[in-house]
Chain A
């Protein structure tokens, strides 16, 4: 692996964890995707769709590009294959942006609001971890052991770390 740039591992972990949980959920019975847990965002499927849809939006803010097979909308059903494909392409693009962009650059969001690039990356990482946690909470609350999505798991999967939970 090349020398890591500052946000590399955060963004690589985020994409790896998204792919891990989406692939895991793709193997579940369809009824499980409609399960929820009190205090979380919604159903398991709705949480995954929101997770990927929001990242698609964050990367669009950073680049002006809509990436993935289609815009992910809350009121439309997208297959987990579609979400997986979109998660991979936006993850790769986010990594490229982080390597070249300036975290202090200010960009326009919506309704006249602006944000620095750095805060959008912090939000992307926070948001991904937050909703993956809600997905694992739903799995746990419904008696299903979730897949490992920690930074330790990413390090082991990348073959660069021995650390475990």
Chain B
């Protein structure tokens, strides 16, 4: 396992775990939110996975596929869970290969502008973003007395036998 594959595989595990948990909640629970976060549980999960689609596409130099999760159109959480797993498989394979962190890639902004950045910055953002929105989900769960699955990196390490 390479140095970078550790936090990436952790991100995969944590997002997949929370995606499955959120998808199994009742519709009225998925509509919950709390002040200071980005929105409801459902919207946060769709954004979390939708953004992961765009990070993967940027690293591949493509656009997200036809069936990608999108904040504007996706409503089926079963599809969100399935896409999250697919994305995790891709990121796991990617993280095990040789990654040139200094390679400059293009990213298209919401206004259509093109921005240039090194791969290392995109990966830092991808991992920040996953942790950020999982933390927001954790706050919403806590605010409404929902007992969430444990999703820290230590929990992941324990499950894998890396922490014992």
* A163-B6 CB under 8 A given contacts A38-B142, A38-B143, A122-B156: no
Chain A residue numbers with a CB within 8 Å of B121 are 9, 151-152, 154-155, 160-161, 163
Range for the number of chain A residues in contact with chain B: 35 or more
Query: For the side of the interface on B, what is the size category?
Result: 35 or more
Q: Can you name the residue of chain B whose Cβ is closest to the Cβ of A103? A: B3
- Nearest Cβ distance between residue B3 and chain A, in whole angstroms? 4
Interface string of A134-165 (1 = CB under 8 A from B): 10111111100000011110110000111110
8 Å CB contacts to A: which residues of B27-41?
34-37
Q: Is the interface of A mostly helix, strand, loop or mixed?
A: helix
Interface of B (DSSP majority class): helix
Measured in the bound complex, the distance between the Cα atoms of B120 and A109 in whole Å is 30
B140 within 8 A of A: yes
Contact B124 A122 (CB under 8 A): no
**Pairwise interchain contact A39-B132, C-beta atoms closer than 8 A:** no
Across the interface, name the chain A residue whose C-beta is closest to B120: A9
The answer to whether A119 and B123 touch (CB under 8 A), given A6-B101, A9-B101, is: no
Contact with B along A100-124 (1 / 0, CB 8 A): 0001100001000111101101110
A122 x B117 contact (CB < 8 A): no
Min C-beta distance of B18 to chain A, whole Å? 12
Is A43 in contact with chain B by the CB < 8 A criterion?
no
> B135 touching A130 by the CB < 8 A rule?
yes
Interface residues of B in 5-54 (CB under 8 A from A): 6-7, 10, 14, 34-37
Residues B6 and A118 in contact, CB atoms below 8 Å apart? yes
Question: Is the pair A122, B10 in contact by a Cβ cutoff of 8 Å?
Answer: yes
- How far does the alpha carbon of A37 sit from the alpha carbon of B140 in the complex, in Å? 10
